[in-house]
Amino acid sequence: MSSQRALLSECGHPQQSVLMPEIVHAAYYRDSYRVELSRNRLTVCDAFHGIFMHRPTWMKLIMMSRNYLISMFGVAVPASAEIMHPCMRSDYQVGEKIGAWPIFYLGSEELVAGRDNSHLDFRLSIVRVEEEQTAAIVVSTVCLTHNWFGRAYIQLIRPFHRWGLKYLIRQAILAGRL
């Protein structure tokens, strides 16, 4: 477990990200986690697959329950099939979906996916970084809220999001996917 902790650490949003600093700093919620890679040639899409395409069934069911509840407030949510049986491909383009999220930006060093909704805009960024012969990725979440519902939603899910994201990253490390 101690070597796993050495591979995962909380950090700031990377400066080389395409997400503009003024947007990141204005976000109602943001977090970033740095993950040292044991697989040096991993692409940002491979890293996304390694983390988000291997959710346990219990987590998928929780996400579907959450989606059902928030859809009652008119919030657009992904289809249940996108959560239960995400499609993994070898090639993606901006505008297509990776997992349940549309891709906003895709380059060799960064993937930005997310969703815009009436209550908040959500971005997930995976940035590949090289530091002193160590390959790593930084997984960041940035949420801009539009109203009281967005702020209340973030307050409600924040602890679950933080725990769940770290859980998925740790599972990917243990399974050798990163």
**pTM of this prediction?**
0.91
Q: How far apart are CA 139 and CA 173, in angstroms?
A: 13
What the block records as the tokens of 43 is 């692409």
Q: What does the pLDDT look like over 102-145, one tens digit per residue?
A: 999 999 999 999 999 999 999 999 999 987 788 999 999 999 99
Non-local (6+) Cβ contacts of 120 within 8 A are: 28, 143, 144, 145, 146, 150, 153, 154
Q: Which domains does the chain have, with CATH numbers?
A: 2-174 (3.30.530)
For residues 108 and 137, the answer to whether their CB atoms sit within 8 Å is no
Residue 69 backbone dihedrals phi, psi, to 5 degrees: -65, -45
